Structure 1
Amino acid sequence: MASPAFRHDAAVLLAIIGRSERSLTPVRSVVGTWAVINVNVPSRKMIESAAAALQGAGLVVIDEEWRLRPTADGARLRRTPRRVSARELPSAIEKVLPPLIPDPSVVLPHEIYAAALDHHRHPKPLLPRWVTAPFRCAKKAEPRAAEPERAPVISKGPSTSTEFLAELAANPEFQRRRAAHEAEQSKRRAAFAAAEAPILKDLRAAGFAAESVWDFVNTSDPYPDALPILLAHLKRGGYPNRVMESLGRAVAVKPMVAHWDDLVALYQNPRSSGEETGVAVALAACATKAQFDELLSLAADDSRDSTRIFFLRTLKRIDRARGTAFVESRVEDPVLGPEATHLTKQAAAARRRRERRDG
């Protein structure tokens, strides 16, 4: 069963993507609307996990461009809550969500999320009011025709979540598709568990009662004795994309600087996109000032993809002057530009705050 926070993220996402099966919602719209409804900007992982859960439950379909569209069941569930505000809608949807288990095959590309985040932080300016004034004045001057009296709209659908769930329970076509979907998800989960089995066997032999490699990614407790096991499996490779990413993220801790050369070799010759992402996170997490030059070289390598964005904050952290100079030089870079621009503006805002405070 999903945690309350996890279910709430899925409910927020379903509230955002619209009520029609024909509506396609890009990640750019998701980020902006999520920030309004939930009063925070969602991380890539939050959107990815919520989308994976909704797709796993058969409520959402994700196309190749990562636009989200509700299925027939998703659209009906989305329309079930009545007479609620935009801020109350996610909580109302959360009450009628079925059990959620993420689809491990769903991965939100970093470049799509980075572009969406940049659009949210730097939206295109609206036209000045003096440009639109003539049109607004003309519109006000036009006489309005009297609107015909409208007949009250009588809803033919379920009026409460209880009625909606009862209707689904009595719908044989829905139950057939749900059973087929759950069978497919069970098959995927079994395949994922089988792929992780050798790793978990070695971890349990060392005294770690983990149910998944992701358990190490999502904990703040140190696990130094598990790091050699995780690194050995990361170097061995051959696991599915999501497992390789989880191994890389699981070793994203400062003590791994002792294995810096191994991580660099893996990053330069990745066997999957998941491995490249996970190892990039590990390099950024463990680098110290002694690794600055090599990390800078990796970040400046234009032959690599968007995983280099993980290095920018670290470069500034371990050598402020040189790291800041590099980040500012990449503001126009097609890959690093969005993150570099954000970090540069963030630093400028902090500098202005200090000047006001000290001045």
Structure 2
Amino acid sequence: MEVEMNKVKSELAKAGISVNDIYDLVNTDKPYPTAVPVLLNLLQEGIGHISIKEGIVRALAVKEAIGKASPVLIAEYNRTPKDKTLLRWAIGNTIYTTITEDDVENILPIVLDKTNGTSRQMFVAALGKVKSEKAEDVLVNLLDDEEVTLHALEALGRMKSRKAREKVTMLTSHSKALIRKEALKTLKKLS
């Protein structure tokens, strides 16, 4: 771990950024645009230690990474073993920040593959931030998938989906209180 952290520190120092730990970037409110390409290169080169990798992923959840990070993050998600649910979820969480319309085609297979489990949640939520009829159709279908129902409701509410109204209305009488509550909140956004 120490060797990899030293590499991260060294590479960031070349970009004029001094850190003691990758989480110094995650926890700062100062922008660091020169770090984004460095972080992307580090991910692509294959950092092995999971907490450093997760720190890099989380450090990419910044507006400066929009339009740059998603392809690398999606490739990392697809390379990461399915039992590494927290890292895969963190990648989706960063995608929520970095998503563009160009990313939709590469995200749809992730959200449609039920074997990806709960790590799909933030990818589903991210789809609500782009204008895509295909994404909207997928989100409506994901309302039936309880691992991601809440995130699909949030996304459909964000995109003010007309197509979802009937299914969302049905979810207002769901057996789970949290789903009923989110469905009611989403319906208000659709009105």
| TM-score, normalised via structure 2 length | 0.69
Q: Which of 254, 262, 268 is 2:78 aligned to?
A: 268
Could you tell me whether the CA contact under 8 Å between 2:61 and 2:97 is conserved in 1?
Answer: yes
Task: Spell out, residue by residue over 1:127-153, the C-alpha distance to the aligned partner (whole angstroms, 9 max, x if none).
Answer: xxxxxxxxxxxxxxxxxxxxxxxxxxx
Q: Structure 1 residues 208 and 238 mapped into 2: Cα distance closer, same or farther (>3 Å)?
A: closer
Q: Is 1:350 paired with 2:184?
A: no
In 1: Cα distance, 2:151 partner to 2:128 partner? 13
Q: Is residue 125–residue 154 contact of structure 2 (8 Å, CA) maintained in 1?
A: no
Partner of 1:244: 53
1-side partners of 2:129 and 2:149: how far apart?
A: 18
Structure index of larger Rg: 1
Q: Which residue of 1 aligns with 2:43?
A: 234
Percentage of matched positions with identical amino acids: 20
Contact persistence 1:284–1:310 (CA under 8 A) = yes
Deviation at 1:265, TM superposition (A): 1.9
Please give the per-residue CA displacement for 1:136-187, whole angstroms capped at 9, x wherever unaligned: xxxxxxxxxxxxxxxxxxxxxxxxxxxxxxxxxxxxxxxxxxxxxxxxxxxx
Residues 351, 335 of structure 1: alpha-carbon distance in 2 compared, 3 angstrom cutoff: closer
Distance change (3 Å), C-alpha of 1:349 and 1:321: farther
Question: TM-score, normalised to structure 1's length?
Answer: 0.39
5+ residue gaps, structure 2, are: 156-167, 169-182
The structure 2 residue matched to 1:288, chosen from 85, 100, 107, is 100
CA distance in 1 between counterparts of 2:9 and 2:90 reads: 18
Q: In the alignment, residue 303 of structure 1 is paired with which amino acid? A: T
**Could you say which residue in structure 2 is the equivalent of 1:332?**
144
The verdict on how the C-alpha distance between 1:290 and 1:259 changes in structure 2, with shifts beyond 3 A counting, is same
* Deviation string, structure 1 residues 40-87 (Cα, Å, up to 9, x no partner): xxxxxxxxxxxxxxxxxxxxxxxxxxxxxxxxxxxxxxxxxxxxxxxx
Could you give the per-residue CA deviations for residues 307-352 of structure 1, whole angstroms, max 9, x where no partner exists? 2111222212202654444323212214212433455523212245
> How many angstroms does 1:193 deviate by?
5.7
Look up the match of 2:24: 215
Task: Name the SS for the 1:209 alignment partner.
Answer: coil
Equivalent residues, number:
161
Q: Deviations over 1:100-130 (max 9, x none)?
A: xxxxxxxxxxxxxxxxxxxxxxxxxxxxxxx
Which amino acid in 2 is paired with 1:278? Answer: A
In the alignment, what sits opposite 1:173? none
